[in-house]
Structure 1
Amino acid sequence: MELGIIGLGKMGGNMAERLRRAGHKVVGFDFSKEATAKLTAAGSLGVDSLEDLVANLSAPRAIWIMVPSGDPVDQTIAKLKPLMQKGDIFIDGGNSNYKDTQRRHDELVPEGFGFVDCGTSGGIWGISEGYSMMIGGDKEVVESLRPIFETLAPGKDEGWGRVGPSGAGHFVKMVHNGIEYGLMQAYAEGFSILKAKKVLDLDLLQIASIWQKGSVVRSWLLDLTTDALRKNINLDGLEAFVPDSGEGRWTVFEAIDLNVSAPVITESLLRRVRSREENNFTDRMLAVMRNEFGGHAVKKS
């Protein structure tokens, strides 16, 4: 099956290569000429314009969009629409807000296009391990893309599925990332406690390796953490700056709207926000208050 991919970053490029190895024709576009050249050198076809992307795909076309959420997705679709024809399918494989996804579906379907949202997880490891794909959209459209999903997934019938109508894929991926925030925060705090117990001289890499086998906290995330500790046990040269790509925030907003208590996910999001604050004003305010009511010492820069 043929597939066009827009956005040849680490995930998009790796997806293209996994598909190529399985015999699919892949045509890719990216604003980076280096990325398109790399795709061509690998045996697929990298092009320099959306016009060339569409022209090199047979109808009905399927085009996978891997660009940042929000306006970039709308702009990409707007530029593609005049080049495409009824029956062609747009696949949003990025981390879009599910409400935007539902709007795009409702706009495109009456015009004769298919629209599928695919929450995609797997990162840089997807090329070898396969991608977890949470898919939303009309059943017949999703089914028509089965060869693509089966190839990208960890197994033909593993790690992917249509989870509901339009927007469901991105909604499930949103919650998936919220859970990921909580898991990451718990691991980070646990290892920090271990490291702080200097008197026991604990070996974090040894402990992580022990937990990998048989422990109830074993996971792929722990495996990746163990690999990171093996490369840099003291995390030298790294800053405590943790961005968030939006899904964690949206998960918290949905929890509030649905009256669902989600304190762990919420706190893990707030910790990420705090990591980006230099000379934290909140903590300085706490120090000043302690000094005012109790005469506690205040450290000055």
Structure 2
Amino acid sequence: MELGMIGLGRMGANMARRLARQGHQITAFDPSPEARAQAQAPGIGPVGSLSELIAALPSPRILWLMVPSGQPVDSTLDQILPALAAGDIVIDGGNSNYKDSQRRGARLAELGLHFVDCGTSGGIWGLEEGYSMMIGGAPEVVESLRPIFASLAPSPTSGWGRVGPVGAGHFTKMIHNGIEYGMMEAYAEGFAILHHKREFDLDLHQISEIWREGSVIRSWLLDLTAAALEKDPGMTGLEPWVDDSGEGRWTVAEAIALDVPAPVITMSLIGRLRSRDRDSYSDKLLAAMRQQFGGHAVKKG
């Protein structure tokens, strides 16, 4: 199949490469000339503008967006929609909020266009291992895109699927990322306890490798943890700053809206936020309170 890829960051470029390797023809655009140059490969034809990209595609056009969530997606749609025709398909493969995807789907439907939201997981490993894809859209539209999804997935029949109407793909990916937050936090806390048990002189990399085989807590995240511990078991040179893409926040907000208790995901999000407070006022105030009521010692900076 032929399709247009808009956004050639690391993940977008890797998805284009995986598709091209399996015989798809990709016309690609990114506002960065450097990104376009780096994406040049057999089966991938970078172009210098969105208008060139749209003109190069056969009808019905298939456009895959891999741009940052939020305003960049709306801005891209504003630029391409006037040039599209009824029956064309736009896929958002980024980390958009599902409510935005529902709004965008309705907007495109009024123009006779199809919108598909594809929650995509796989990160930098997807090029070789394949991507897990949670897809929202009309059944017949998603089915027409089967060759693309089958090529991107770990196998043609696994790791991907339509999960519901427009919005359902990004909603499912949002919850996926919320679960990821909780799993990461549990691993981090467990290894921190092991690290602080000095009397046993534990080899954390060895333990992670033991757990990877046969253990009920084995997972790909544990595989990645083991690789990190092998490289730098003391985490030297790293600062305790953990970023977030926003999907953990959306998951917590959705849990509250639905009256669903989600304490693990919520606390893992709070842990990430706390990691960024280099000069924690709340911790200082806690120390001051303890000194006030109990005369406990405080440390002066």
Fold conserved (TM > 0.5)? yes
Q: CA-to-partner distance for each residue in 1:56-82, whole Å, 9 max, x for gaps?
A: 211111111111111111110010011
CA distances 1:215-258 after superposition (whole Å, capped 9, x unpaired): 00000010011111111111111111111111100100110111
State the 1:130 CA deviation: 0.5
Alpha-carbon contact 2:131-2:153 (below 8 Å) kept: yes
2:89·2:116 contact (CA, 8 Å) conserved in 1? Answer: yes
Taking the TM superposition and a 5 Å limit, the aligned residue runs for 1:68-87 are 68-87=68-87
Offset of residue 127 of structure 1: 0.6
- Matched residue SS, 1:116: strand
What's the TM-score, normalizing by structure 1?
0.98
Residues 1:271 and 2:271 aligned together: yes
Q: Is the 8 A contact 2:25 2:43 kept in 1?
A: no
Moved over 3 A (4+): none
Mapped partners of 2:39, 2:256: distance in 1: 43
The alignment's TM-score, normalised by the length of structure 2, stands at 0.98
**Cα distance between partner residues in 1 of 2:251 and 2:115:** 23
3-state DSSP of counterpart to 1:241? coil
> Secondary structure of the equivalent of 2:52?
helix
| 1:164 shift after superposition | 0.3
Q: CA-atom RMSD, angstroms?
A: 0.8
**8 A contact 2:21–2:43 mirrored in 1:** no
SS in 2 for 1:155: coil
The answer as to 2:142 corresponding to 1:135 is no
Distance between the aligned counterparts of 1:74 and 1:63, measured in 2?
A: 14
Give the Cα–Cα distance (whole angstroms) in 2 for the partners of residues 32 and 199 of structure 1.
53
CA distance in 2, matches of 1:43, 1:36: 14
Report the alpha carbon displacement of residue 7 of structure 1 after superposing the two structures with TM: 1.1
Summarize the alignment of residues 1-301 of structure 1 with structure 2, pairs less than 5 Å apart: 1-301=1-301
Separation of aligned partners in 2, 1:84 and 1:260? 41
Return the letter of the residue paired with 1:147.
Answer: P
Equivalenced residue count is: 301
**SS at structure 2 position matched to 1:118:** strand
CA-CA distance at 1:41 after TM superposition: 3.9
- Opposite residue 19 of structure 1, the aligned amino acid is L
Displacement of 1:42 in angstroms is: 5.0
Deviation at 1:43, TM superposition (A): 4.4
Residue 278 (structure 1) shift: 1.4
SS of equivalent to 1:104? helix
Amino acid at match of 1:195: H
Q: Deviations over 1:26-79 (max 9, x none)?
A: 111112211111222454111121011111211111111111111111110010
CA–CA separation in structure 2 for the residues paired with 1:6 and 1:240: 34
Letter in 1 for 2:127: I
Unaligned runs of 5+ in 1: none
Q: 1:230 to 1:42 in 2, by over 3 A?
A: farther
Say if 2:23 and 2:43, in contact at 8 Å, map to a contact too. Answer: no
Residue type of the partner of 1:10?
A: R
